[in-house]
């Protein structure tokens, strides 16, 4: 790598990064600028493991681990959550570096294994605290619920992320900035996120003694359940020890039914992001009393006047086993159409990330706007909404216009004519 620039990672290192298995000697850097973008470089492995999950699920159960509409919805939310990073540097790193530069108390050595392991524990504990608060504070839950909105549980679900959650999570990491170098923090921030990808699957059952220490697919299935015994349990990121210490651990027992206790029933990524915020807004104005209004924002999602902070457990809907996921019928050709066009958008998104430093701000904003329009259109198509066809025709005409004018470009030049067709 160039001096001061990000270092390249070998495929073997990148694969081990997914499982938090890169030791300090391979993942310690003097400066933030040298830290690789492990998340972006993991995209090929995400695709590979999703394909592997489909194969294993078919062998085990003779069925696929998810649905096309829900999978496209999860990937759309993943893309949407990453679009702000095209325009702005990570607020988590900006705030951390600011505190480090201005308020640090002392400086631990960046190349010490002890600093590396301490940061592992610190980042994971900060994640536990934030994650728990995201379930127990209504305004934070309004952002985090996006990740829980899928009624399937597979590796696509891991990519289902909130746009606004990162703008509240950053403050939980700031105490570490008083003594842990930003370059070490930047590595573990990514590793903690990457580790949580592979645990979103049903094809892995129990992992023996590892279940006592690590967050595993079994533990995380409980966290994503809407069964009464699953609610507000297993908040850990990489380690499950925090849940065992603070009394929020629950082992997998009855078959888990996934999703929200009150499903949003939409594949529109904007609707999934904003409807909970709209619900808080309406509830805030409909609730009498100033203190009660504040409680709508800062107490649990199940709170109401006269109820405990986190609501009443008996009000959680009972699971009958006959729950039917939101799954509007669309013709098979429409599923194929959506898949092909979604692949085009993924290509445009990855090309945008690769070339954003060479593009004007206007071109970047145009591409982001078109990607958002496309993701909304696909969501409406998957819901078989009556006006989805009109929006899709408009989207395709916009695409042809801007593509012919040179504002869009594929990573694969040989696909240019095919895209126009």
* Distance, CA of 136 to CA of 311 (rounded, Å): 10
Residues 342 and 232 reside in one and the same domain: no
Task: State the CB neighbour count (10 A cutoff) for residue 288.
Answer: 7
Residues 138 and 221 reside in one and the same domain: yes
What percentage of residues in the chain have a pLDDT greater than 90? 75
Residues 205 and 109 reside in one and the same domain: yes
Q: Is 326 part of any domain?
A: no
- Is residue 238 pLDDT above 90, yes or no? yes
CB distance 216 to 195 below 8 Å:
no
Q: Is 57 part of any domain?
A: yes
What's the pLDDT tens digit per position in 123-145?
A: 999 999 999 999 999 999 999 99
- pLDDT: which is higher, 228 or 40: 228
C-alpha neighbours within 13 Å on the C-beta side of residue 18: 21
Residues 273 and 220 reside in one and the same domain: no
DSSP E strands: which ranges in 40-161? none
- Is residue 405 pLDDT above 90, yes or no? no
Give 361: exposed, middle or buried? Use CB within 10 Å, 0-12, 13-18, 19+: exposed
* Distance, CA of 346 to CA of 292 (rounded, Å): 44
Could you tell me how many helices (H) and strands (E) the chain has, helices first? 19, 0
The tokens for 95 are: 């705030």
What's the pLDDT tens digit per position in 82-98?
A: 898 887 777 899 999 99
User: Nearest CA to 225 among 243, 202, 207?
Assistant: 202
Average pLDDT over residues 312-324: 89
- Is residue 408 pLDDT above 90, yes or no? no
Band (375; pLDDT cuts 50, 70, 90)? very high
Q: Which residues pair with 239 in a beta bridge?
A: 214
Residues 306 and 342 reside in one and the same domain: no
* Distance, CA of 22 to CA of 25 (rounded, Å): 8
Q: Is 67 part of any domain?
A: yes
Residues 236 and 349 reside in one and the same domain: no
Average pLDDT over residues 55-80: 93
Q: Is the pTM of this model over 0.85?
A: yes
Residues 27 and 176 reside in one and the same domain: yes
For residue 361, the model assigns a pLDDT of: 87
Radius of gyration of the chain (CA): 22
- Is residue 4 pLDDT above 70, yes or no? no
- Our CA dihedral for 150, 152, 155, 157, rounded to 10 degrees, sits at 0
Band (411; pLDDT cuts 50, 70, 90)? confident
Average pLDDT over residues 376-392: 94
Residues 162 and 236 reside in one and the same domain: yes
- Is residue 148 pLDDT above 80, yes or no? yes
User: Nearest CA to 227 among 200, 252, 197?
Assistant: 252
- Is residue 2 pLDDT above 50, yes or no? no
CB distance 200 to 64 below 8 Å:
no
- Is residue 12 pLDDT above 90, yes or no? no
What's the pLDDT tens digit per position in 172-222?
A: 999 999 999 999 999 999 999 999 999 999 999 999 999 999 999 999 999
Q: Which residues pair with 225 in a beta bridge?
A: 258
Longest Cα–Cα distance in the chain: 64
Q: State which residues form the domain around 292.
A: 269-315
Q: Is 327 part of any domain?
A: no
Residues 407 and 373 reside in one and the same domain: yes
Residue 222 neighbours by CB under 8 Å, 6+ apart: 229, 230, 233, 234, 250, 251, 252, 256
* Distance, CA of 6 to CA of 8 (rounded, Å): 7
Per the structure, the count of domains in the chain is 3
Question: What SS3 class is residue 239?
Answer: strand
Q: Is 258 part of any domain?
A: no
Average pLDDT over residues 366-383: 95
Question: What SS3 class is residue 210?
Answer: helix
């Amino acid at each position: 790598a160039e001096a001061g620039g990000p270092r390249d990672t070998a495929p073997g290192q990148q694969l081990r990064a997914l499982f938090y298995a890169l030791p300090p000697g391979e993942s310690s850097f003097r400066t933030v600028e040298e830290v690789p973008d492990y998340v972006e470089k993991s995209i090929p492995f995400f695709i590979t493991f999703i394909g592997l999950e489909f194969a294993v699920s078919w062998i085990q159960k003779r069925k696929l681990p998810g649905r096309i509409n829900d999978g496209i919805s999860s990937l759309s939310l993943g893309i949407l959550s990453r679009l702000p990073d095209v325009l702005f540097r990570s607020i988590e790193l900006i705030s951390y570096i600011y505190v480090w530069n201005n308020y640090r108390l002392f400086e631990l050595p960046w190349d010490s294994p002890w600093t590396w392991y301490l940061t592992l524990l610190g980042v994971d504990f900060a994640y536990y605290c934030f994650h728990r608060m995201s379930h127990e504070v209504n305004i934070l839950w309004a952002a985090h619920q996006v990740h829980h909105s899928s009624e399937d549980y597979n590796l696509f679900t891991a990519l289902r992320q909130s746009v606004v959650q990162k703008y509240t999570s950053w403050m939980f990491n700031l105490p570490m900035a008083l003594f842990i170098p930003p370059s070490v923090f930047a590595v573990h921030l990514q590793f903690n996120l990457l580790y949580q990808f592979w645990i979103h699957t049903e094809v892995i059952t129990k992992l023996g003694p590892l279940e006592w220490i690590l967050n595993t697919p079994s533990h995380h299935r409980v966290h994503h359940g809407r069964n009464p015994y699953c609610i507000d349990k297993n908040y850990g990121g990489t380690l499950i020890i925090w849940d065992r210490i603070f009394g929020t651990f629950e082992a997998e027992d009855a078959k888990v039914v996934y999703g929200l206790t009150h499903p949003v029933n939409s594949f529109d990524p904007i609707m999934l992001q904003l409807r909970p915020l709209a619900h808080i807004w309406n509830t805030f104005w409909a609730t009498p009393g100033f203190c009660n209004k504040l409680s709508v924002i800062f107490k649990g999602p199940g709170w109401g006047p006269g109820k405990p902070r986190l609501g009443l457990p008996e009000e959680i809907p009972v699971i009958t086993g006959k729950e039917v996921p939101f799954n509007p019928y669309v013709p098979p050709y429409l599923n194929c159409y959506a898949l092909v066009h979604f692949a085009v958008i993924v290509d445009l998104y990855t090309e945008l990330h690769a070339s954003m430093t060479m593009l004007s701000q206007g071109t970047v904003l145009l591409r982001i706007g078109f990607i958002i329009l496309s993701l909304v259109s696909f969501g409406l198509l998957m819901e078989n909404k009556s006006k989805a066809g009109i929006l899709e025709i408009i989207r395709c005409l916009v695409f042809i216009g801007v593509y012919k004018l040179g504002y869009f470009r594929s990573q694969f030049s040989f696909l240019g004519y095919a895209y126009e067709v």
